[in-house]
Amino acid sequence: MKKLHDKKISPLSVAVAMLFTVAPASLIAAEMAQSEATQSKTTKPTAEAPTNDQTLATVNVTSTKENEVVDGYQATKTRVGKVLQDPHDIPQAITTVTHSLMHDQQVGTLKEALRNVAGLTFNAAEGGRSGDNMNLRGFYTFGDIYLDGIRDTAQYNRETFNLEQVDVLRGSAAMLFGRGQAGGVINQVSKTPKLKDENTVSGSLGSYDYQQFTGDFNKKLGDTTAIRINIMDRTEETYRKNPANGDRPELNRAGIAVSLGTGIGTENEFLLSHIYTKTRDVPDYGISFLNKRPINTAAINDKTFYGGSKNFDDSDTNVTTGTFTHQFSADTEWRTQIRHAEYERQYWAKTPSNSLLPEANYSVGGNVTRAMDYKTDTLQSDFNTKLDIAGMKHQVLAGFEYMKEDSSRTSLLALNPNTDMPFTGSQSASDDGVYYDKNRLSSANPTTFTADNYAIYAQDTVTLVPKWDVLVGVRRDEMKANYSSTTSPQLNYGENSYRTGLSWHQSAENHYYVSWSDSFSPTADLYQLTVTPQPPERSKTIEMGAKWLLLEGDLALRTAIYQSTKDWERNTDLESTAAILTKKRRTDGVEFELAGRITDDWEVFSGLAFMDAKILAVAENVNAVTGIITSADPRYVGQRARNTAKATFNVWTTYKLSSHWKIGGGLEAKGDRYGYNPSATVATQFVNGVFQPNVLPGYTRLDAMLTYEEKKWAVRLNVKNLLDKTYYDALYDNGSFSVPGNRRTVIVTTEYKF
């Protein structure tokens, strides 16, 4: 990379950089936040031709392909479109959270990594959807999380210790992924073996008993064979405390990932991987609302925790994947993946009260319990090639996918703490509250389903004339599911999904596009509340955008304006009696993202999102007893969708003060969000004709970092929530409670490479 004084820096580049790295006070006051992913661009040197007739010795070159990437905040490679390519060339908005960004921010969970994504908000864990659950562009994503391009749909909390990057493909994406909501998909990209010996260990200590150890060990076993092992162990608490017993919420997590690669860089490459993660948390269901705001009285406020050390959230996740890639030529590739995954989880959490203080015996607040066993088997195969037909260049993608789901969930058995026998409801007022054991299940029949999902798809990108590309794609999905429900024991959906786009590559640095895509959600989990079969959930997105590479490709700027519409939106709350949440709703929005290097020493990752999310048609549900179709309160039409901020803004930037010292900091801001149930037949949120739902206030959070680096070791100081602000992070979107984010947390990390 050239030095700053060698570059021709346009006024536009400087203005854009300053716009995103220095947040205007007006935007912060409006609570804006964003995130864009990035990783620094690299240019391979061009080999020079020999200058004489001398015969040169034969040189065998082995390519390491995806492994040789210079890490930074600007992504240069992604498989989110099923083909390894530069995200700059894809006619759809993409955000990539790189490993370098997660490393500098001391990120441990997927949720923390996704704070860098514009237009994304977090849902709290209720209604049976406990685990990673986010809204993107105003639409939920619980069924849109992937691991290396394969659906990772279970309800659990994901870690980042084995992730190279996180790709977020925005908009309807079923043509590529087989299921997709209007907001987009979140694809986790795992670390893979490299053809060199490289090892890194780190240890961290911090506030609220934060302790973490990680290890990343890569060993070259042969010319084309290597093994990589990643391990993690972390514990931490929050500032919230139960005043009756002194207990706090806890995260206790560990994991190991092993991947073996052979034929790396050759025409036949095989990768076998297994990841195991374990959680033993004390769950936190936050605080209630009072007078339409999070409760804040002298006795009950954001510091009040209703659970205790007897509560638990235990999960064990095992995912085994085999990937075979055959390269017929530099332009033709066949890639097949097969996976078996098992997700086991049991939890008992306390819900808060807005009038009573917690008791040491767990008698105040509700009890939420669950035991889940979910298994999936997946086969996915993709073929892509480049060819010339009728004088036009084509990039063809075709493939098929099969996924089998087997799910069982039930509640835990309420026990009498004095007798350890099932609770009969005859305890005296002086007895302790009921408790639960993860190994003792309810006697009720579990809720089960099995599903077979089939898909075939094809896509072609045609270069009509130089600089102009047209993309067209179609996918057919079939879902056949059997349920334990007596009202709808079987469902069978078959739908087509389409994708098209027009791109103008004005130059290598400038890409302008317009795209349209729709999606069908063949998700057995999504339809299990249906009393009688309802139309499938579908989404459509139209988007117009531009992508620019500035400062000789070191800085990427993206903008997009879009409209996303969802029909027959399903309820994400498994405890709800209404399967349909809304019949139609829409988000109109505009986004800006910036990522990369402004100078050799100055990096930035930033973005801005505005969203106008509204209900267009209210829900129509079938009464389980009478079979009569009932409509939600018509006054919901035109109201802002729940858990969707009008604006979000965030920025993270670092600067190298010298060859050893680096300083950094960031800001995350979100506007206020609504919490309510839009499928209610009578909307209690209207007071004298004015819509007054529960409101989660907007917030601004500041973070900071200071690092000292040597070649073999480094020490890093991270301060999260630098100003020690109270802010409400996650919202149970039906509006009954919210979970505050942690207060100021100081973390010191040491890292050693060998």
Q: Which of 31, 138, 53, 254 is nearest to 563 (CA)?
A: 138
Using CB atoms within 10 A of its CB, is residue 638 exposed (0-12), middle (13-18) or buried (19+)? exposed
Distance CA 116, CA 650 (A): 7
Query: What is the residue whose two structure tokens read 């500041």?
Result: 702
Whole-prediction pTM: 0.88
In-domain check, residue 263:
yes
**Predicted pLDDT at 30:** 39
Comparing 10-14, 125-129, 534-538, the range with the smallest average pLDDT is 10-14
In-domain check, residue 49:
no
Extract the tokens encoding 141: 């994503």
Note the pLDDT tens digit of each residue in 53-72: 333 344 344 444 444 445 79
Q: How many CA atoms lie within 13 A of 276 on its CB side?
A: 4
pLDDT of residue 176 exceeding 80: no
Query: What is the DSSP code (8-state) at residue 6?
Result: G
Note the pLDDT tens digit of each residue in 490-525: 888 899 999 999 999 999 999 999 999 988 877 777
Averaged over 415-437, what is the pLDDT? Answer: 75
Comparing 320-324, 357-361, 626-630, the range with the smallest average pLDDT is 626-630
Distance CA 305, CA 241 (A): 5
Reported confidence tier of residue 319, pLDDT bands at 50, 70, 90: very high
How far does CA 368 lie from the centroid of its chain?
Answer: 24
**Predicted pLDDT at 530:** 66
Note the pLDDT tens digit of each residue in 612-626: 999 999 999 888 778
Q: Is the distance from CB of 132 to CB of 121 less than 8 angstroms? A: no
Output phi, psi for 112, to 5 deg.
Answer: -65, -40
Note the pLDDT tens digit of each residue in 559-604: 999 999 999 998 776 666 678 899 999 999 999 999 999 999 999 9
Distance CA 141, CA 132 (A): 9
Reported confidence tier of residue 634, pLDDT bands at 50, 70, 90: very high
In-domain check, residue 617:
yes
Q: Is the distance from CB of 247 to CB of 305 less than 8 angstroms? A: yes
- 3-state SS assignment for residue 386: strand
- CATH assignment of the domain containing 507: 2.40.170.20
Q: Is 733 left (phi over 0), alpha (psi -120 to 50) or beta?
A: alpha
Output phi, psi for 90, to 5 deg.
Answer: -90, 130
Query: What is the residue whose two structure tokens read 């809304």?
Result: 582
Residues forming a β-bridge with 614? 586, 640
**Predicted pLDDT at 529:** 66
Summary mean pLDDT of the chain = 87
Averaged over 355-380, what is the pLDDT? Answer: 94
How many domains are there within the chain? 1
Pick the more confident residue, 444 or 378: 378
Note the pLDDT tens digit of each residue in 704-720: 999 999 999 999 999 99
Distance CA 592, CA 155 (A): 31
Averaged over 332-355, what is the pLDDT? Answer: 96
**Predicted pLDDT at 592:** 97
In-domain check, residue 701:
yes
Length of the chain: 754
**Predicted pLDDT at 56:** 36
Reported confidence tier of residue 407, pLDDT bands at 50, 70, 90: very high
**Predicted pLDDT at 177:** 63
- 3-state SS assignment for residue 157: coil
Extract the tokens encoding 90: 């894809």
pLDDT of residue 674 exceeding 50: yes
Extract the tokens encoding 615: 């209900």
Q: Is the distance from CB of 37 to CB of 96 less than 8 angstroms? A: yes
Extract the tokens encoding 548: 């620019």
In-domain check, residue 189:
yes
**Predicted pLDDT at 127:** 60
131-148 in b/e form (b: 16+ CB < 10 A) is bbbbbbbbbbbbbbbbbb
In-domain check, residue 337:
yes
Work out the number of other CB atoms within 10 angstroms of the CB of residue 354: 15
Q: Domain range holding 570? A: 26-42+67-411+445-753
Averaged over 159-183, what is the pLDDT? Answer: 82
In-domain check, residue 525:
yes
**Predicted pLDDT at 286:** 94
Q: List % helix, strand, coil for the chain (3-state, nearest 5).
A: 5, 50, 40
Residues 6+ apart with CB under 8 A from 275: 162, 190, 255, 256, 257, 258, 317, 318, 319
Distance CA 417, CA 427 (A): 10
In-domain check, residue 665:
yes
Note the pLDDT tens digit of each residue in 271-283: 999 999 999 999 9
Q: Which long-range contacts (CB under 8 A, 24 or more apart) does 321-325 make?
A: 321/148, 321/150, 321/271, 321/272, 321/273, 321/274, 322/270, 322/271, 322/272, 322/273, 323/148, 323/270, 323/271, 323/272, 323/273, 324/268, 324/269, 324/270, 324/271, 325/268, 325/269, 325/270
Q: What percent of the chain has pLDDT over 90?
A: 71
For 42-159, strand residue ranges (E) read: 94-98, 120-123, 134-136, 139-140, 145-147, 150-151
Reported confidence tier of residue 31, pLDDT bands at 50, 70, 90: very low
Query: What is the residue whose two structure tokens read 């390894």?
Result: 84
**Predicted pLDDT at 467:** 95
Comparing 350-359, 398-407, 419-428, 437-446, the range with the smallest average pLDDT is 419-428
